[in-house]
Amino acid sequence: MAKAKVGILISGRGSNMAALVYAAKLADCPYEVVLVAANDPEAPGLALARAEGISTFGLGHKGMKRADFDAVIDAELRKAGAEYVALAGYMRLLSPEFVNKWEGRMLNIHPSLLPKYKGLDTHQRALDAGDLVAGCSVHVVTAELDDGPVLDRIEVAVLPGDTAESLAARILMAEHQLYSRTLAHFVTADQRPEALLDHIRELALKLPESYEKPSYGAQAFGIEGGKMFAYFRRNHHGDGITAMLVRTSGGEEQAMLIESDPDLYHRPTYLGPAGWVGIRLDRQPVDWGHIEQWLGKSWRRAAPKRLTKLLDAADEF
Ligand code: GRF
């Protein structure tokens, strides 16, 4: 499976960046780091990334307008092929343009249990408040500082006699655990069966007079007054497959499809003999345009005459 491409932005030592880079070396890590960029060419983290064979980019931001500087970083990220951005100790406010461009694809790590203690001095603020538990959070980046949906957090107990430094050091260990896991989870979110079903549902229910109902451990999509036109199956009878089932014109087309691409198509149990074909959704990347076409074709085959007549008439105009 292709790995998601991540660009990391840092400002200093880059220990969180290093944790992300090392985790990416594990064979089953779903992301790879394609660029480490800093707003300071001397940031120690850049040397570490270079030594690991990762492309780096460092540029001092002094004298540049925020939006102009961010546009340079954005261009570097795109040149490197980044699909996601991980902020790791990036001590610079981002322009709204940059945040918009990476909306929903940019994460940040913050050393507090958000929504508590946004901004700086988080450790001292937790101590001053007498908190018994502090910690760190990873969140999706939105226009507001240290705001945006929190994806996950790790709690860290405050010890008697803790100083801001001693607490920060322990929270940093937790940060290193948290970031790569949350990022890995995030970049694979749209491949999970729940997300795949959501997507199928959205496409299927757009078709005229369609409805959804559970059916023998699958989700079925049918047409009012007509027949079923799609099923979403997940690990059906333990087969380990996530697939959408649609109607073909019959056994011949079904056999042809399977022969043409046996990794994508299969003859599903029960419905196979009736001419249905299974299209796998657990082969990345899913071609959603193709899935939508199939839903349309299958819908037509399942629709009652009164609906297809209307559509045929509409087609003639
Ligand atoms: C970390 O504490 C992180 O949570 C915060 O800045 C610090 C960066 O440390 N946003 P490092 O550069 O990753 O070592």
pLDDT digits (tens, 9 = 90+) for 260-270: 999 999 999 99
Residue type, 298: S
Contact present, 207 and 215 (Cβ < 8 Å): no
Residue type, 186: F
Marked catalytic residue, from 110, 139, 176, 236:
110
| pLDDT tens digits, 273-300 | 999 999 999 987 799 999 999 999 999 9
Q: In this structure, which residue's CA is closest to atom 3 in ligand 1?
A: 89
Residue 198, CA atoms < 13 Å, CB-side half-sphere = 7
Q: In the prediction, which pLDDT does 283 show?
A: 85
For residue 190, the CA-to-ligand 1 centroid distance in Å is: 28
For residue 232, pLDDT beyond 70: yes
For residue 43, the CA-to-ligand 1 centroid distance in Å is: 13
Instruction: Report residue 106 as tokens.
Output: 């940019």
Peptide bond into 262 cis (omega under 30): no
Average pLDDT of 54-76? 96
For residue 75, pLDDT beyond 90: yes
Is residue 110 part of the annotated active site? The answer reads: yes
Q: Is the CB of 16 under 6 A from ligand 1?
A: yes
Average pLDDT of 70-96? 96
Of the chain, the end-to-end C-alpha distance in Å amounts to 44
Instruction: Report residue 223 as tokens.
Output: 């047409």
Q: In the prediction, which pLDDT does 1 show?
A: 67
For residue 153, the CA-to-ligand 1 centroid distance in Å is: 15
Helices (H), the chain: 15-23, 44-51, 66-79, 96-101, 122-128, 164-187, 193-204, 251-260, 288-302, 305-316
Segment holding 238, helix H or strand E:
none
Q: Is the CB of 110 under 6 A from ligand 1?
A: yes
Whole-model pTM: value is: 0.80
**In which band, very low, low, confident or very high, does the pLDDT at 102 lie, cut at 50, 70 and 90?**
very high
Separation CA 173–CA 166 (nearest Å)? 11
| pLDDT tens digits, 138-185 | 999 998 888 999 999 999 999 999 999 999 999 999 999 999 999 999
For residue 313, pLDDT beyond 80: no
